[in-house]
Amino acid sequence: MELQQLFTMSETLDSNIVSKKLESSSEHAKKAIDAAAQAGRTVGDTAKKEAKAAYETGREHLGAAAKNLGDAASASYGHARSRANSIYSDASDRAHDCQHQAESFIRENPLQAVAVAVGVGFILGILLRR
Protein backbone atom coordinates (compact mmCIF):
# COMPACT_ATOMS: atom_id res chain seq x y z
CA MET A 1 0.00 0.00 0.00
CA GLU A 2 0.98 3.32 -0.68
CA LEU A 3 1.36 6.09 1.65
CA GLN A 4 -1.44 7.97 -0.02
CA GLN A 5 -3.84 5.09 0.50
CA LEU A 6 -2.80 4.75 4.12
CA PHE A 7 -3.31 8.41 4.60
CA THR A 8 -6.78 8.22 2.97
CA MET A 9 -7.72 5.22 5.11
CA SER A 10 -6.51 7.05 8.18
CA GLU A 11 -8.58 10.07 7.26
CA THR A 12 -11.63 7.88 6.66
CA LEU A 13 -11.17 6.15 10.01
CA ASP A 14 -10.64 9.49 11.74
CA SER A 15 -13.68 10.88 9.94
CA ASN A 16 -15.78 7.88 11.05
CA ILE A 17 -14.57 8.23 14.64
CA VAL A 18 -15.28 11.96 14.62
CA SER A 19 -18.69 11.34 13.12
CA LYS A 20 -19.49 8.71 15.74
CA LYS A 21 -18.25 10.98 18.52
CA LEU A 22 -20.41 13.83 17.20
CA GLU A 23 -23.45 11.56 17.06
CA SER A 24 -22.70 10.30 20.56
CA SER A 25 -22.29 13.87 21.79
CA SER A 26 -25.59 14.83 20.17
CA GLU A 27 -27.37 11.92 21.83
CA HIS A 28 -25.86 12.78 25.19
CA ALA A 29 -26.88 16.42 24.75
CA LYS A 30 -30.45 15.35 23.93
CA LYS A 31 -30.50 13.10 26.99
CA ALA A 32 -29.13 15.94 29.13
CA ILE A 33 -31.85 18.27 27.83
CA ASP A 34 -34.51 15.61 28.51
CA ALA A 35 -33.10 15.07 32.01
CA ALA A 36 -33.08 18.83 32.65
CA ALA A 37 -36.68 19.11 31.43
CA GLN A 38 -37.70 16.21 33.68
CA ALA A 39 -35.90 17.83 36.60
CA GLY A 40 -37.76 21.07 35.87
CA ARG A 41 -41.09 19.24 35.84
CA THR A 42 -40.18 17.45 39.07
CA VAL A 43 -39.21 20.72 40.73
CA GLY A 44 -42.44 22.32 39.50
CA ASP A 45 -44.54 19.41 40.76
CA THR A 46 -42.75 19.46 44.11
CA ALA A 47 -43.20 23.21 44.44
CA LYS A 48 -46.88 22.86 43.56
CA LYS A 49 -47.34 20.12 46.19
CA GLU A 50 -45.51 22.15 48.83
CA ALA A 51 -47.51 25.28 48.01
CA LYS A 52 -50.77 23.33 48.21
CA ALA A 53 -49.74 21.82 51.56
CA ALA A 54 -48.81 25.27 52.89
CA TYR A 55 -52.13 26.67 51.66
CA GLU A 56 -54.08 23.89 53.37
CA THR A 57 -52.15 24.36 56.61
CA GLY A 58 -52.72 28.11 56.51
CA ARG A 59 -56.41 27.59 55.80
CA GLU A 60 -56.73 25.21 58.76
CA HIS A 61 -55.00 27.69 61.07
CA LEU A 62 -57.19 30.56 59.89
CA GLY A 63 -60.29 28.43 60.43
CA ALA A 64 -59.16 27.60 63.96
CA ALA A 65 -58.38 31.26 64.64
CA ALA A 66 -61.82 32.31 63.40
CA LYS A 67 -63.48 29.67 65.59
CA ASN A 68 -61.49 30.79 68.64
CA LEU A 69 -62.37 34.41 67.94
CA GLY A 70 -66.06 33.50 67.61
CA ASP A 71 -65.95 31.53 70.86
CA ALA A 72 -64.28 34.43 72.65
CA ALA A 73 -66.87 36.87 71.30
CA SER A 74 -69.70 34.58 72.38
CA ALA A 75 -68.22 34.25 75.86
CA SER A 76 -67.78 38.03 76.14
CA TYR A 77 -71.31 38.64 74.90
CA GLY A 78 -72.70 36.09 77.37
CA HIS A 79 -70.82 37.70 80.24
CA ALA A 80 -71.93 41.23 79.24
CA ARG A 81 -75.53 40.09 78.83
CA SER A 82 -75.50 38.38 82.22
CA ARG A 83 -74.05 41.50 83.84
CA ALA A 84 -76.63 43.76 82.14
CA ASN A 85 -79.48 41.49 83.27
CA SER A 86 -78.12 41.58 86.82
CA ILE A 87 -77.92 45.40 86.81
CA TYR A 88 -81.43 45.66 85.33
CA SER A 89 -82.80 43.27 87.94
CA ASP A 90 -81.17 45.25 90.78
CA ALA A 91 -82.50 48.56 89.41
CA SER A 92 -85.97 47.08 88.96
CA ASP A 93 -85.96 45.76 92.53
CA ARG A 94 -84.91 49.18 93.88
CA ALA A 95 -87.61 50.92 91.84
CA HIS A 96 -90.26 48.53 93.22
CA ASP A 97 -88.98 49.15 96.76
CA CYS A 98 -89.21 52.92 96.25
CA GLN A 99 -92.72 52.56 94.81
CA HIS A 100 -93.84 50.47 97.81
CA GLN A 101 -92.32 52.98 100.25
CA ALA A 102 -94.05 55.88 98.47
CA GLU A 103 -97.40 54.04 98.51
CA SER A 104 -96.97 53.23 102.21
CA PHE A 105 -96.15 56.88 103.02
CA ILE A 106 -99.20 58.10 101.07
CA ARG A 107 -101.53 55.62 102.85
CA GLU A 108 -100.14 56.50 106.29
CA ASN A 109 -99.97 60.31 105.70
CA PRO A 110 -102.52 61.30 103.06
CA LEU A 111 -102.69 65.01 103.99
CA GLN A 112 -98.92 65.44 103.96
CA ALA A 113 -98.75 63.62 100.58
CA VAL A 114 -101.35 65.98 99.07
CA ALA A 115 -99.55 69.03 100.51
CA VAL A 116 -96.23 67.86 99.08
CA ALA A 117 -97.84 67.21 95.68
CA VAL A 118 -99.46 70.67 95.63
CA GLY A 119 -96.16 72.31 96.63
CA VAL A 120 -94.17 70.48 93.97
CA GLY A 121 -96.83 71.31 91.35
CA PHE A 122 -96.80 74.99 92.33
CA ILE A 123 -93.00 75.24 92.11
CA LEU A 124 -92.94 73.43 88.74
CA GLY A 125 -95.67 75.76 87.45
CA ILE A 126 -93.64 78.86 88.38
CA LEU A 127 -90.44 77.44 86.84
CA LEU A 128 -92.11 76.38 83.61
CA ARG A 129 -93.79 79.80 83.02
CA ARG A 130 -90.48 81.55 82.69
Q: At 130, is the pLDDT very low, low, confident or very high (cuts 50, 70, 90)?
A: confident
Q: Is residue 113 part of a domain?
A: yes
Q: At 124, is the pLDDT very low, low, confident or very high (cuts 50, 70, 90)?
A: very high
Q: Is residue 16 part of a domain?
A: no
Q: Is residue 118 part of a domain?
A: yes
pLDDT above 80 (res 15): no
Q: Is residue 9 part of a domain?
A: no
Residues in the chain: 130
Neighbours of 113 (CB within 10 A): 15
Indicate the number of domains in the chain: 1
Across 28-50, average pLDDT: 88
Q: Is residue 104 part of a domain?
A: yes
Q: Is residue 4 part of a domain?
A: no
Across 78-104, average pLDDT: 93
pTM of this prediction?
0.44
User: Residue 90's pLDDT is what?
Assistant: 95
To the nearest whole percent, how much of the chain has pLDDT over 90?
A: 40
Q: Is residue 35 part of a domain?
A: yes
Sign of CA dihedral 41, 46, 47, 52: positive
User: Residue 9's pLDDT is what?
Assistant: 59
Across 94-118, average pLDDT: 92
User: Residue 13's pLDDT is what?
Assistant: 59
Question: Who has greater pLDDT, 81 or 24?
Answer: 81
For 72, the domain range is 27-129
The C-alpha atoms of residue 6 and residue 19 are separated, in whole angstroms, by 19
Q: Is residue 62 part of a domain?
A: yes
Cβ density class 81-96: b for 16+ within 10 Å, e for less: eeeeeeeeeeeeeeee
Among 14-18, 33-37, 81-85, 105-109, which stretch is predicted with the lowest mean pLDDT?
Answer: 14-18
